[in-house]
Amino acid sequence: MKEITIYDTQNFDVCDTLECGQIFRYNKLDDNRYEVFSQDKYAVLTTSPDAVTVASDDCDYFCNFLDLQTDYSAKVNRIKTYGKVMEACAEKAKGIRILNQNLFEMVICFIISANNNIKRIQLIVDRLCTAIGSKTPYGYAFPTAEQMAEKDESFYASIGAGYRAKYLAETSRRLVGYDFENLLSMSTADARKELLTFLGIGPKVADCILLFGMHRGDVFPVDTWLKKVYHAYFEQGHKDAEISSFFCNLFGEDAGLCQQYLFYCQRKYGQIG
DNA sequence: GGACAGGTGCGGT
DNA sequence: ACCGCACCTGTC
């Protein structure tokens, strides 16, 4: 394994980045180390007092994966001007980076995430990789669309997916040979419409795929946590279905990152301030 | 043992 | 278009 060390950790915290809910395939090894899986690749991230070290056979891949080429300082400073609430949670969550994750992997993982809890999502994803993913030196790869399409609904039920089994079987079949490049070339609004045509993808899951799999910052996934945040800190009388567009209008291009800050603070600390 | 999970699809207005 | 509701299952 090779290593790369990052010394500018002002806006890069491994714990914040991995535990803010954008990724399910990681494990905490000890106080300072996390292992991360993406597609068929693997890395160990070690935090020391003055740096973070990435150890992997695919260091370049993980530098992009961790969005290390992007300067977050301007974004964070701008978000801190979005009122008291954002100022407080940006200070706590400023180490979060929006990962560049694989699009197919995001589609499948976030279909599994619907009306589910993180522990069980990780359990199901782990069973999925172990059962049909290709073996790698460090574990099992995330399955390809072809590998998933070979399995039927009963298989996905057997790994604990519940009523999402049908969604996984049907959507993975539809994604064999799918033109992802075309999807990536679309505007955020058009890509969102296209994603909503897949079984198992509703508004919230579509926004997660756009944000985590396509790096579109101008979306705001609304789940139960963000509904709580809205009602506690932003109440302006919107119906649930309008909360996402309310935040998109409020935060513009920074909406996605703001959502991660708010989600993380609410979940980790039980409050924003 | 019940409520809750990073909601969605479906049928009824 | 807009509700209201059922829904797998692991965890707290």
d(CA A247, CA A231): 12
Instruction: Measure, in angstroms, how far nucleotide B9 C1' is from residue A13 CA.
Output: 38
Which DSSP symbol is given to A22?
S
HSE-up of residue A93 (Cα within 13 Å, Cβ side): 33
Block means of pLDDT (10 residues each) for chain A, 273 residues, are: 96 96 96 97 97 98 97 97 96 97 98 97 98 98 98 98 98 98 98 98 98 98 95 90 96 98 92 79
Residue A7, sorted as left (phi over 0), alpha (psi -120 to 50) or beta, turns out to be alpha
Of all protein residues, which has its CA closest to the C1' atom of B4? A117
Side chain identity, residue A203: P
Task: Answer for A164: CB within 7 Å of strand C.
Answer: yes
For residue A249, give the amino acid letter: N
A120 touches strand C (CB under 7 A): yes
- CB burial of residue A159 (10 Å; 0-12, 13-18, 19+): buried
Between CA A267 and C1' B4 the distance (Å) reads 14
C-beta of residue A43 within 8 angstroms of C-beta of residue A36: yes
Residue A119 beta carbon within 7 A of nucleic strand C? yes
Dihedral angle of Cα A65, A68, A70, A74, to the nearest 10 degrees: 130
Q: How far is the CA of A182 from the C1' of B6 (A)?
A: 27
Distance A6 CA to C10 C1' (A): 38
Name the nucleotide nearest A161; use CA and C1'. C8
Å: A89 CA to C12 C1': 26
**CB of A117 within 7 Å of some strand C atom:** yes
Q: Is A9 exposed, middle or buried (0-12, 13-18, 19+ CB in 10 A)?
A: middle
Which protein residue's Cα is closest to nucleotide C7 at C1'?
A: A163
Tell me the C-alpha distance between A182 and A194, whole Å.
11
- DSSP per residue over A34-69, as a string? EEEEETTEEEEEEEETTEEEEEETTHHHHHHHTTTT
Q: Which residues, other chains included, contact A89 with Cβ-Cβ below 8 Å and sequence gap of 6+?
A: A261, A262, A264, A265, A272, A273
Closest nucleotide (CA of A165 to C1')?
A: C8
Q: State how far the Cα of A188 lies from the Cα of A162, in Å rounded to an integer.
A: 30
Check if the beta carbon of residue A177 is closer than 8 Å to that of residue A117: no
Q: Are the beta carbons of A148 and A172 closer than 8 angstroms?
A: yes
Supply the pLDDT for residue A222: 97
Residue at A58: amino acid letter: D
Q: Does the CB of A245 sit below 7 A from strand C?
A: no
Q: Find which nucleotide's C1' atom is closest to A21's CA.
A: B6
Bases along strand C below 7 A from a protein CB? 2-3, 7-12
Smallest CA–C1' separation from A19, nucleotide: B6
* C-alpha–C-alpha distance, residues A163 and A48, integer Å: 43
The A 91-110 residues near strand C by Cβ under 7 Å are none
Q: Under a CB-based contact definition with an 8 Å cutoff, are residues A124 and A118 in contact?
A: no
How far in angstroms lies nucleotide B7's C1' from the CA of residue A31?
Answer: 34
Chain B positions with any atom < 7 A from a protein CB: 4-10
